[in-house]
Amino acid sequence: MSKNVLITGASAGFGKLMTATLIDAGHTVIATMRDPEGRNAENAAEAKALGAHVLELDVTRDESVDAAIATAVDSLGGIDVLINNAGTGVIGWQETFTVEDWKKVFEVNVFGVQRVTRAVIPHMKAKGEGLVIYLSSLLGRVTLPFFGPYNATKFAVEAMAENYRLELSGAGIESCVIEPGGYGTSFMSALIQPSDQERINSLGEAAGAPMQMVQGFEGNLSGENAPDPQWIADETLKLVDADHGTRPFRTVRDGLGMGEPVEAINAAAEASELAIYQAFQLDGMLEVKTSS
């Protein structure tokens, strides 16, 4: 059955691939992005050529989010699926990121997700059904050095999704998390770097370690055997097409060796949380589904 799917951050990376994949599968896609008539004009034109409905949506601005959601609902009759894909990454020693740097990352990766999800929920509740997909990361379950603020935002998104899973399932709204590993998309070329240059300089030779790590990753993310970003678009399509009540809460998709350990973490967390929910008599709030 064709669904109306709204994707944030659809101008590039996973969002662009999701748009093409979902349209090809027969779904109606609302591809949202910042400045579709300016810096993203070419990306907007490509999405329109595929058959997407393109809307301006800046996840950091309440008025932009509210206007885009209202337009999507009015013009298409509702939103069946929300894909919270928009996000930004970082690279640098954690201590060298100022509080303002942290705010910038949280504004997109956490507050932006809450803005859009909160705007969509009433429309899904009115229909009595819906699906919200959160693009998290393996770094929302484990940490690696030099990605500190990003790690923190993705841990926050994981907690947000778990709470919505409990609070919205009774309204017929399912919550799903996709946890990608590293992929060679435009994401890697747009990493935010810390602004405290004085603190960076104080680190001496160690200051260059974060970029050395990124260069190593880039080598693994290119070439014949590199993970394919299309995998994430395909996993998204599986969730959109799945029947209500059959979707896994978490989906791990990695090609660099981190996936299996994270799946073990997810399985242990699922069992522990279920026990806690049962102890507090909260398990009746959701259908418990195994992670994939």
Confidence check: pLDDT of 223 > 80: no
The CATH number that applies at residue 120 is 3.40.50.720
**Is residue 291 one of the residues assigned to a domain?**
no
Number of structural domains (the chain) is 1
**Is residue 105 one of the residues assigned to a domain?**
yes
Q: What confidence tier does 221 reach under pLDDT thresholds 50, 70, 90?
A: confident
Q: Rg of the Cα trace of the chain?
A: 19
Active site residues: 11, 136, 150, 154
Interval 175-191 mean pLDDT: 83
The answer to whether 220 and 226 have CB atoms below 8 angstroms apart is: yes
Of residues 23 and 215, more confidently modeled: 23
**Is residue 64 one of the residues assigned to a domain?**
yes
Q: What confidence tier does 289 reach under pLDDT thresholds 50, 70, 90?
A: very low
**Is residue 292 one of the residues assigned to a domain?**
no
Buried b (16+ CB within 10 A) or exposed e, 87-113: bbbbbbbbebbeeebbebbebbbbbbb
Q: What is the pLDDT of residues 74-94, one digit of tens each?
A: 999 999 999 999 999 999 999
**Is residue 256 one of the residues assigned to a domain?**
yes
**Is residue 164 one of the residues assigned to a domain?**
yes
> Rounded to two decimals, what is the model's pTM?
0.94
**Is residue 290 one of the residues assigned to a domain?**
no
**Is residue 257 one of the residues assigned to a domain?**
yes
- The pLDDT > 90 percentage for the chain reads 85
Quote the mean pLDDT of the chain: 93
Q: Write out the residue range of the structural domain in which residue 51 sits.
A: 4-285
